[in-house]
Chain A
Amino acid sequence: MSDPSTASIVSTPRAEQPTETVSPVGAPQGDRKEKPRGLLGDAWLDLRRKPLFWISALFILLFLLMAAFPQLFTSGDAVNGSLDRSLGKPSGDAWFGYDFQGRDVYARVIYGARASIVVSVLSVLGTLLVGGAMGVIAGYRGGWVDAVLSRVADVFFGLPFVLGAIVILTTFNGSGTSNSQWKIMGLVTVSLIVLSWPVVMRLMRSSVLSTKEADYIVAARALGAGTGRIVLKHLLPNCLAPLLVYGTIMVGSFIGAEATLSFLGVGLKSPVVSWGIMISESQSFIRVSPSLLFFPSLFLVLAVLSFVMLGEAVREALDPKLR
């Protein structure tokens, strides 16, 4: 995943790249930017030149807007339909047609963005935070701390995802409970985090283990840097790349996981709208009305692809050797 050769599709086109990175750097360049930039400043400069960054960022922005203000995109009703329009074909009135219950598919896809995106993005952030922190602690401290954390991670790792999620969600979100939409989304998010952090933790731990032996970490210590500074400034930036890539892939798989849980009836439930619910509902009509599957899947794929591309672009920008 972190192999630079696989990343060519999002690389900055060589022609656009000014020769300023080639030595010797001219003095005018030094004059132009008076204020010294940090790692993120340099990454931003690099990102700005990547067309794929802008495309994926645009899509993500669009999806975020959709999640926050669905009214901007449609005036249709996502929840109520009229049965006489059941399985209606796409038309000027309803661009994506109507589902079995006669609800406007376009409106539903737009409204469904919220649950899908909020759940997946929050779960990814949570997973990265929890797993990343555990990984850094385990890798950097080593010894018994590492042993304890790794065994705890193993326990969670051993739980099959679907089984674990069913157990957690039926306990707190079983039939008969009347949780609000946000509460269910919170529960789904928490169960996703609880069951996925060990992967990130292992990734981070191995990354930290190989990086902490590096000479520049020893050199930083020899020049009197404190533990906090070493971890935050010297260790983390060098361990971040695999995490970012994995994180963006996770966004996609978590949208899918949310759909799986909805399909099993333990996650979000109708009348809440999510892409997962729509996809699972469409499976009975796949021969009659394939557009029911096509449109939510299209949005799902677009969202996942945008996050993956953004992740790739960011990872490349953060690696000075690819600049």
Chain B
Amino acid sequence: MSDILVSEQSAPGADGSGRPSGRLLEVEDLRVEFRTRDGVAKVINGVTYHVEAGETLAVLGESGSGKSVTAQTIMGILDTPPGFVTNGQVRFHGKDMLKMSAEERRRIRGEGIAMIFQDSLSALNPVFTVGFQIAEQFRIRRGMSRADAKKRAVEMLDQVKIPNAKGRYSNYPHQFSGGMRQRAMIAMSLALDPEVLIADEPTTALDVTVQAQIMDLLGELQRERQMGMILITHDLGVVADVADRIAVMYAGRIVEEADVFELYRKPAHPYTLGLLNSIPRMDERGQELRTIKGLPPNLMNIPPGCPFNPRCPMAQPVCREKVPPLLQVGAGRASACHFAEELVNRD
């Protein structure tokens, strides 16, 4: 029996006026497991989400919740072995990418779907200049001459607001600062004008002021290009400004999906509630920070019932027996909690 049932109408109320409509990228009931020597870790247990053109979906979750593995599966860069996709579809323009040939998938990468990595220093090749690495794509994928490719690469660097882009073209990654490197990484990912951009914790390695700049830049470029963006993060603060919709992941499942304002205003899952409560607040100075007690479950041995039940303040006997399906609660939002209705309707 499938534990996750997202109704087709769970699309959000994010304004879609004037945008090219349609679901660009859909992930449906995706299951991935890591077969290791110690046993099988069920890393993703039926994830379903989608992103539309011009929309930003934030995937929120703590380490090990499966958010990055989902992204790797979409990109086709999951290490097999140990990772195996056991079920589900990843549809791009309605076509299941998991059934495509390696060559077909390769063509989609970069031009259809591109990805920004967390650590831009290690994601840029240290032996080539930053400009060369961007220009390389124009030369190979667009068949441009070296000079034309350079011109386009400088334009890209300019678009991500790298000062003196022309002079910076021939610098090496280690000569860039962290923020600049992430900008260069963004320029590289956007070079081929992808329709969907997956940003895997793009600001985690940066300090707070630079974080804000990078998020602003990403939001701006996303609006300009009408891209669909999947923003993977564990930082609730980062999400609020940029995202249209949020999907909260826990132990390889989506536990809540909602419009960003709805989610912040009234979370429909105790896990989301716990996350929001754990944000430090100025009016609670001097008090102990609130946390979610306990640890995320061992993915090789997920507890029966709701995976969150051992840590849930609202847990009832039913939570230890039945896995709550992801069901619609109110307009454009879904929650995988037996008591979602009560949470939404309280006050």
Complex CA gap A201/B98 in Å reads: 35
Q: Determine chain A's interface SS by DSSP, over half rule.
A: helix
Chain B residues near A30 (CB, 8 Å)? 166-167, 169-170
Counted as pairs of residues, one from A and one from B, with CB atoms less than 8 Å apart, the total is 111
Interface string of A20-58 (1 = CB under 8 A from B): 010111110111011111110010000000000000000
Q: Is the CB of B77 within 8 A of A218?
A: yes
CB of B158 within 8 Å of the partner chain: no
Stretch at the interface among A131-139, A222-230, A299-307: A222-230
Check if B189 sits within 8 Å of A223, measured CB to CB: yes
Q: Which chain A residue shows the least CB distance to B110?
A: A224
For A29, the closest partner residue in chain B by CB is B167
Give the interface size bracket for A toward B.
Answer: 35 or more
Complex: how many Å from CA A293 to CA B174?
A: 50
What is the CA–CA distance of A320 and B127 in the complex, to the nearest angstrom? 6
- Of B27-35, B139-147, B311-319, which stretch is located at the interface? B139-147
Closest Cβ of chain A: how far from B75's Cβ, in Å? Answer: 5
CB nearest to B113 among chain A residues: A222
A222 near B107 with CB under 8 A, answer: no
- Select B174's contact among A35, A221, A321, beta carbons within 8 Å: A321
Within 8 A of A (CB), among B122-152: 122-129, 131-132, 135-137, 140-141, 146-147, 149-150
Contact partners of A4 in chain B: CB under 8 A: none
- Knowing A36-B132, A221-B77, the reply to whether A27 touches B110 (Cβ < 8 A) is no
List the A residue with the shortest CB-CB distance to B175: A23
Q: How far is the CA of A318 from the CA of B192 in the complex (A)?
A: 29
Q: Which residues on the B side are within 8 Å of A167 (C-beta)?
A: none
Answer yes or no: B172 CB below 8 A from chain A CBs: yes
Check A36 against B108 for contact (C-beta < 8 Å): no
Chain A residues within an 8 Å CB radius of B306 = none
CB within 8 Å of A: which of B162-219?
Answer: 163-164, 166-172, 174-176, 185, 188-189, 192
A39 and B128 within 8 A (CB): yes
Please give me the residue from chain A that is nearest to B108 by CB atom.
Answer: A224
Residues of B within 8 A of A34 (CB): 147
Contact between A26 and B167, CB atoms less than 8 A apart? yes
B114 at the interface (CB under 8 A from A): yes
Which residue on B lies nearest to A21, using beta carbons? B175
Nearest chain B CB to A222 CB, angstrom units: 5
Interface residues on B, range: 35 or more
Query: What is the distance, in angstroms, from A1's C-beta to the closest C-beta of chain B?
Result: 18
Do A320 and B150 touch (CB < 8 A)? no
A246-B40 Cα distance, complex, nearest whole Å: 42
Contact across chains for A214 and B122 when beta carbons are under 8 A apart: yes
Q: Mark A217-244, 1 if CB is under 8 A from B, else 0.
A: 0111111111001000110011000000
Which chain A residues border B163 with CB–CB below 8 Å? 24
The proximity string for B residues 104-126 relative to A, scoring 1 for CB distances below 8 Å and 0 otherwise, is 00111111001101010011111
Q: Does A146 contact B (CB under 8 A)?
A: no
Is B174 within 8 A of A219, CB to CB? Answer: no
Alpha-carbon distance A242/B131, docked complex (angstroms): 26
Does A36 lie within 8 Å of B167, measured CB to CB? no
Among B124, B137, B149, point to the contact of A216 (Cβ < 8 A): B124
**Which residue from B149, B150, B174, B188 sits with its C-beta under 8 Å from A223?**
B188
CB of A93 closer than 8 Å to a CB of B: no
Assuming the contacts A216-B122, A218-B117, A320-B174, asked whether A25 and B164 have C-beta atoms less than 8 A apart, the reply is: yes
Give Cα A218 to B110, complex, Å: 12
Instruction: Report A-chain residues with C-beta under 8 Å of the C-beta of B129.
Output: 42, 320
Q: CB < 8 Å: which of A25, A218, A226 contacts B170?
A: A25
> How far is A225 from B125 in the complex, measured between Cα atoms in Å?
13
Cβ–Cβ < 8 Å partners of B119 in chain A:
215
A215→B126 contact, CB < 8 A: no
| Complex CA distance for A225 and B168, rounded to whole angstroms | 24
Closest A residue to B109 by beta carbon equals A224
Minimum C-beta distance from B171 to chain A (A): 6
A234-B126 in contact given A35-B147, A222-B77 (Cβ < 8 Å): no
Known: A216-B123, A222-B77, A321-B126. A24 touches B164 (CB 8 A): yes
Shortest Cβ gap from A118 to chain B (Å) = 32
A sample of 30 cross-chain residue pairs with beta-carbon separation below 8 angstroms, ordered by A number, consists of: A24-B164, A25-B170, A29-B167, A33-B170, A36-B170, A38-B128, A39-B128, A214-B122, A215-B117, A215-B122, A216-B123, A216-B126, A218-B117, A219-B115, A219-B117, A219-B185, A219-B188, A222-B75, A222-B109, A222-B117, A223-B110, A223-B114, A223-B115, A223-B137, A223-B192, A224-B106, A234-B125, A237-B128, A318-B127, A319-B127
Known: A23-B171, A225-B140, A318-B127. 10 other contacts (CB 8 A): A21-B175, A27-B166, A31-B166, A36-B131, A39-B128, A215-B119, A218-B123, A223-B188, A224-B106, A320-B127
